[in-house]
């Protein structure tokens, strides 16, 4: 089945309204394209849970900084549509930039306090762009459910807060990170890596695994965990560490001692390619 | 008919959903209460155009500055509900502050460029608070149409921009300013005025009338119009001028020569009471 490819908000609204008249619930999977098995897992869950599955493919300029990879970010709409077809997606919404940001656009959404830590610290304005485009997509599609990956842990946390604070009538479904057989988290940016970098990139997953073992073994000092994670990453050939963080999963603020739901989060650059990964750990009191 | 008084978002959503099942369209009139004939005009239009009329009454703390009149802003829910009943409103939504802003609230909406001029210049954060609460109300009620007064010209312009930029599926209905027989624009804050101030407050309307006559007579210099408006206001006993502005109605930026749709806007303090008024003028090219 080939999904219907839609370029305009008006056409998107017509298709969604027609589905709603038929009694279908709507599932939205927002993406920037360059789709992989991680995205496919989101689509599969949307397919199971909703009647009309919409995948948006939009490389959102407002979430890229001036020196980031907006221009080289992979764009492969034809392949993406094929993957969506295999996952029985109904609608692919791939608007041009001027459809999403017409001349005179000037409204932004910010989630304060959560957006300037972790990835937000090295990517100022990133989550403001993410929140703004996701809220636009929510208003365009008005889905019952929206699907995001846990791989982008901070994004998931911020969007959940936005939905709660602004009373957006959508159920947020955060789905587990999908990994390569060796553990590397799937990412559209993995294709930037050369063979050596690809091998060393495994260090992120291994570092998270090691930290989880330390915690399972009784370690409760966030400083010890954090330092050990950083040491492992720094020792990885070609890796430049952006952050290795041990934070409260709700507030995203650094912890002293581990308790409750803890987020272990890493960001590492290999050459110009920035990779992230994370693990959520429930620490017994 | 007595409107149903609702205090929680959950109950509001239930009533709206039930009306939607009956096939009713929803009209929303957001207010801060202390309702007057200006609000009644909005309700009347909503009653004509939609099947379920919801009036929200919420003195929104995030749109008040630290030294503004949040504490003394008039609250008179019983009288307000009576007025709503006379206008055949279906639902009055009057949530407590903690229902709208629960602990941990941290998401805000901003319309850049339009919010720091005119009233925004002397009320930093005001329109950010307005946008945030109105977007929340839109998400809570999901109305087909929402009704606002032209008296708050900058608010109307900013909210229209927010709706456009964020693709909010609501039709914005901006209704003409309702005035006392002598021309004073109705405002919940008029009740702060003593008899002398009430008399002198008429100066705002008269100043706008005079400026419109000047323009009708051929004057095209914004500086001349602006200066004459300011002179008239400054000469008014007890009046402290916040601004007298001649701006483009779309950009809200100052004009040199008058052309297109022009907004004449005034803000004046009488004692602690800040009054605003405005006129839209279409200037022939």
Which of the residues B165, B171, B253 would you substitute to probe the A interface, choosing the one with the greatest number of A C-beta atoms within 10 Å?
Answer: B165
The helix, strand and coil proportions of chain B, stated in percent and rounded to the nearest 5, come to 40, 25, 35
A139/B166 CB distance under 8 A = yes
Residue A284: is its pLDDT beyond 90? no
What does DSSP say about strands A171-175 and A239-248: parallel, antiparallel, or unpaired?
unpaired
Domains of chain B (ranges plus CATH)? 4-175 (3.40.50.620), 188-278 (3.30.1300.10)
Q: Give ∠ CA B104-B107-B111 in degrees, rounded to 5.
A: 160
Q: Cβ neighbours of residue A202 under 8 Å, at least 6 residues apart?
A: A182, A183, A184
Alpha carbon separation from A236 to A184, A266, A272, A278 (Å, rounded): 15, 13, 16, 17
pLDDT in tens, A115-174: 999 999 999 999 999 999 999 999 999 999 999 999 999 999 999 999 999 999 999 999
Distance from the B46 Cα atom to the nearest Cα atom in chain A, whole angstroms = 23
pTM score: 0.97
- From the list B283, B247, B281, the residue with the least C-alpha distance to B119 is B247
Judged by DSSP in three states, A113 sits in: coil
Residue B217 CA to residue B211 CA, distance in Å, equals 10
Q: Does A28 touch chain B (CB under 8 A)?
A: no
Give pLDDT, residue A267: 98
Give pLDDT, residue A183: 98
Tokens of residue B190, six digits: 């008029």
pLDDT in tens, B172-230: 999 999 999 999 999 999 999 999 999 999 999 999 999 999 999 999 999 999 999 99
Judged by DSSP in three states, A271 sits in: coil
Per residue in B19-44, is it b (16+ CB within 10 Å) or e — as a string?
beeeebebbbbbbbbbbbebbbbbbb
Give pLDDT, residue A1: 76
pLDDT in tens, A242-254: 999 999 999 999 9
- From the list B212, B5, B190, B191, the residue with the least C-alpha distance to B89 is B5
Give pLDDT, residue A89: 98
- Residue of chain B with shortest Cα separation from A164: B105
Give pLDDT, residue B4: 98
Give pLDDT, residue B265: 98
- Which helix (H) or strand (E) element contains residue A93? strand A91-93
Burial class from Cβ neighbours inside 10 Å (0-12, 13-18, 19+) for residue A86 reads exposed
B166/A109 CB distance under 8 A = yes
Residue B19 CA to residue B70 CA, distance in Å, equals 34
- The whole-number average pLDDT for the span B11-26 is 98
Tokens of residue A19, six digits: 């589905």
List CB contacts (< 8 A) between B162 and chain A: 107
pLDDT in tens, B58-82: 999 999 999 999 999 999 999 999 9
Q: Cβ neighbours of residue A139 under 8 Å, at least 6 residues apart?
A: B166, B167, B168, B169
- Catalytic choice (B39, B67, B126, B200): B39
Torsional sign, CA A78, A83, A86, A87:
negative
Contact A73, A61 (CB under 8 A): no
Which of the residues B62, B101, B107, B136 would you substitute to probe the A interface, choosing the one with the greatest number of A C-beta atoms within 10 Å?
Answer: B107
Q: Give ∠ CA B3-B7-B9 in degrees, rounded to 5.
A: 110
Burial class from Cβ neighbours inside 10 Å (0-12, 13-18, 19+) for residue A84 reads buried
pLDDT in tens, A173-195: 999 999 999 999 999 999 999 99
Longest dimension (CA), chain A: 58
* Average pLDDT for chain B: 97
Give pLDDT, residue B285: 74
* Average pLDDT for chain A: 97
A107/B111 CB distance under 8 A = yes
Residue A248 CA to residue A262 CA, distance in Å, equals 5
- Residue of chain B with shortest Cα separation from A132: B166
In this predicted complex, what is the ipTM? 0.97
Contact B283, B260 (CB under 8 A): yes
Residue B211 CA to residue B232 CA, distance in Å, equals 10
Contact A78, B83 (CB under 8 A): no
Could you tell me which residues are beta bridge partners of residue B245?
Answer: B265
B108/A106 CB distance under 8 A = no
Give pLDDT, residue B1: 75
Contact A107, A132 (CB under 8 A): yes
Contact B178, B202 (CB under 8 A): no
Nearest beta carbon to residue B107 from set A104, A139, A162: A162
The counts of H helices and E strands in chain B are: 9, 10
- From the list B181, B189, B185, B217, the residue with the least C-alpha distance to B204 is B185
What percentage of chain B reaches a pLDDT higher than 90?
99
Residue B69 CA to residue B59 CA, distance in Å, equals 11
**Conformational region of residue A275, where left means phi above 0, alpha means psi within -120 to 50, and beta covers everything else:** beta
Residue A103 CA to residue B30 CA, distance in Å, equals 29
Residue B143 CA to residue B46 CA, distance in Å, equals 11
Residues shown for chain B: 285
pLDDT in tens, B230-285: 999 999 999 999 999 999 999 999 999 999 999 999 999 999 999 999 999 999 87
Contact B210, B232 (CB under 8 A): yes
Residue A82 CA to residue A77 CA, distance in Å, equals 9
Residue A161 CB-half CA count within 13 A: 27
- The whole-number average pLDDT for the span B85-104 is 98
A107/B110 CB distance under 8 A = yes
List CB contacts (< 8 A) between A113 and chain B: 106
pLDDT band at residue A285, thresholds of 50, 70 and 90? confident
Contact B88, B27 (CB under 8 A): no
Residue B285 CA to residue B127 CA, distance in Å, equals 32
């Amino acid at each position: 089945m080939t999904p219907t490819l839609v370029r305009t908000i008006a056409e998107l609204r017509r298709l969604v309204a027609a589905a709603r008249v038929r009694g279908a619930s709507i599932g939205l999977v927002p993406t920037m394209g360059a789709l992989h098995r991680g995205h496919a897992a989101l689509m599969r869950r949307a397919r199971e849970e909703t009647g009309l599955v919409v995948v948006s493919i939009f490389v959102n300029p407002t979430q890229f900084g001036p020196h980031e990879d907006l221009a080289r970010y992979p764009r492969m709409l034809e392949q993406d549509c094929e993957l969506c077809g295999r996952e029985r997606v109904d609608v692919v919404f791939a608007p041009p930039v001027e459809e999403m940001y017409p001349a005179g656009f000037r409204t932004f959404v910010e989630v304060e306090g959560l957006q300037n830590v972790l990835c937000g610290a090295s990517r100022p304005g990133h989550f403001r762009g993410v929140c703004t485009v996701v809220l636009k997509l929510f208003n365009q599609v008005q889905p019952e459910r929206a699907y995001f990956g846990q791989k982008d842990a901070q994004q998931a946390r911020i969007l959940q807060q936005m939905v709660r604070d602004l009373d957006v009538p959508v159920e947020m479904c955060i789905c587990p990170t999908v990994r390569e057989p060796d553990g590397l988290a799937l990412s559209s940016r993995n294709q930037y890596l050369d063979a050596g970098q690809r091998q060393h990139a495994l260090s992120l997953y291994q570092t998270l695994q090691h930290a989880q073992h330390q915690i399972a073994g009784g370690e409760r000092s966030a400083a010890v965990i954090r330092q050990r994670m950083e040491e492992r990453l720094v020792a990885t050939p070609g890796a430049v560490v952006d952050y290795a963080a041990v934070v409260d999963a709700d507030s995203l603020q650094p912890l002293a001692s581990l308790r409750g739901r803890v987020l272990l989060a890493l960001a590492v650059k290999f050459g110009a390619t920035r990779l992230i990964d994370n693990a959520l750990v429930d620490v017994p009191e």
